[in-house]
Chains A and B, each alone.
Chain A
């Protein structure tokens, strides 16, 4: 009890510090710490699946994206730092934040007793999906359309990043060129850690059917290993016009959508799986989806093309 109260105070404290921090980079560091503390909160709420996702995506990958964004912003418009948003805009933002927080608090506090839950039917029908982890059953069977839309949103976000490419660099290589230092510490860690990391990523993806884990968490670890090997200069990021890369990006959503549409013929509804074959179909969807998400996350971090293909 005391631990939970302390954790709650710490989370709120770090959140407040992240908001008031003047320096962008300091705020990003605060945000990453906040995400890790939030993962602890999820563990205390007996939700290890959410904790894993929060650590991998909410704190880790978003943290990397924000670190990149903060250095880019600092490089581009350092003279504009003195500019402050207008008082009315700030007041409106404060008012809106308070309104959203009050609405959420009201929803939680006004829940009927006992709170409405679908946990019992979800657990009762778990055997029909062939899965052992109810969270994965929700993500891949009961609410598969949410997962499909999440992946499409990720792809749209990547298109948004790519749309920032100047015309003459279109189809080029993302990010700056990292030269490999054969004696460098980063080369050493990339060579040592990448095989282990890929193994852990595949493991996290694979155990998702019976234990906490799954495609998003596994894909994040795979993407992190790809980022590490490009940062160390061992491999260069692929040009965004590469055919195999484009196919890799759409493989996951395409397979997901195809099997979803086939659900009309096989089981009478979109994204419905026929009895006794649910687990196999889910696995057929999950493998390309994991690879596609890993590629999307890597390319999101790599950023828009900065180097021409013909140089």
Chain B
């Protein structure tokens, strides 16, 4: 049972690390601000989500699991908000202008 749990943790954390790597490559390589933001959200949402998922197999009780999930949700919220703010600063009034 613990072997299965370890395997799931390793799998999920590695997948999360891959999304962080992909997001960072996108941040460095993509040509404009909006595409770079798009790449970053992948790292925030999926990367951290998968790492939290991997760590959930190792928590001691439901309370610490809840804490981990809340951390992910708060980062999701902050990431979405900051992305919106930066995008609006780059293109005030939308893409058409």
9 additional contacts (CB under 8 A) given A186-B81, A189-B81, A192-B77: A185-B81, A185-B84, A185-B85, A185-B88, A186-B85, A188-B81, A189-B77, A193-B77, A196-B74
Residues of chain A contacted by B84 (CB below 8 angstroms): 185
Closest to B83 in A: A185
Shortest beta-carbon distance from B17 to chain A in Å: 13
Interface residues on B, range: under 10
Q: Which residue of A lies closest to B88 (CB)?
A: A185
Q: Tell me the minimal C-beta distance from A264 to chain B in angstroms.
A: 43
Mark out the residues of chain B between 73 and 97 whose CB falls within 8 Å of any chain A CB in the assembled complex.
74, 77, 81, 84-85, 88
Distance between B58 CB and nearest chain A CB, rounded to angstroms: 17
Chain A residues numbered 1-51 whose CB sits less than 8 Å from any CB in chain B: none
Note all chain A residues with C-beta closer than 8 A to B74.
196
Q: How many A-B residue pairs have CB under 8 A?
A: 12
In residues 133-148 of chain A, which contact B (Cβ within 8 Å)?
Answer: none
Kindly state the separation between the CA atoms of A189 and B76 in the bound complex, as whole angstroms: 12
Q: Note all chain B residues with C-beta closer than 8 A to A196.
A: 74
Which residue, of A185, A188, A192, A196, has the highest number of chain B Cβ atoms within 10 A?
Answer: A185
- The residue of chain B having its C-beta at the shortest distance from the C-beta of A196 within the complex is B74
When chains A and B are docked, how far (Å) is the Cα of A185 from the Cα of B83?
A: 11
Residues of B within 8 A of A193 (CB): 77
Chain A neighbourhood of B77, CB < 8 A: 189, 192-193
Interface residues of A in 175-211 (CB under 8 A from B): 185-186, 188-189, 192-193, 196
B76 → chain A closest CB, angstroms: 12
How long is the Cα–Cα vector from A157 to B27 in the complex, in angstroms? Answer: 39
Residues on the A chain within 8 Å of B88, using CB: 185
**CA separation between A188 and B84, bound complex, in Å?**
12
How distant is the Cα of A188 from the Cα of B81 in the complex, in angstroms?
9
Whole-angstrom distance from the CB of A57 to the nearest CB of chain B? 19
Q: List 5 A-B contacts (CB under 8 A).
A: A185-B84, A185-B88, A186-B85, A192-B77, A196-B74
Q: For A186, list chain B residues within 8 Å (CB).
A: 81, 85
5 closest Cβ pairs, A-B complex = A189-B81, A185-B84, A185-B81, A185-B85, A193-B77
* Measured CA separation A196–B70 after assembly (Å): 11
Instruction: Tell me which residues across on chain B come within 8 A of A188, comparing CB atoms.
Output: 81
Please report the C-alpha to C-alpha distance between residue A196 and residue B67 in the assembled complex, in whole angstroms.
13
Which residue of B is nearest A189, CB measured?
B81
Q: Name the residue of chain A whose CB is nearest to the CB of B81.
A: A189
Give A5 to B77 CA distance when docked, in angstroms. Answer: 33
Contacts of A192 in B (CB 8 A): 77
Give A262 to B54 CA distance when docked, in angstroms: 52
A193 CA to B88 CA, complexed, in Å: 20
The answer for the CA separation of A196 and B77 in the assembled complex, in Å, is: 12
For residue B85, which residues in chain A have a CB less than 8 angstroms away from its CB?
Answer: 185-186
Smallest beta-carbon distance A148→chain B, Å: 33
- Nearest chain A CB to B87 CB, angstrom units: 10
Interface residues of B in 18-51 (CB under 8 A from A): none
Alpha-carbon gap, A192 to B81, bound state (A)? 11
Cα separation A23 to B77 with both chains bound (whole Å): 30
Q: A118 to B66, alpha carbons, bound, how many Å?
A: 37
Nearest CB of A to B57, in Å? 21
Q: How far is the CA of A138 from the CA of B74 in the complex (A)?
A: 32
* Complex alpha-carbon distance, A133 and B60, angstroms: 21
| Interchain CA distance A193-B74 in the complex, whole Å | 9
Query: In the complex, A193 Cα to B79 Cα: how many Å?
Result: 13
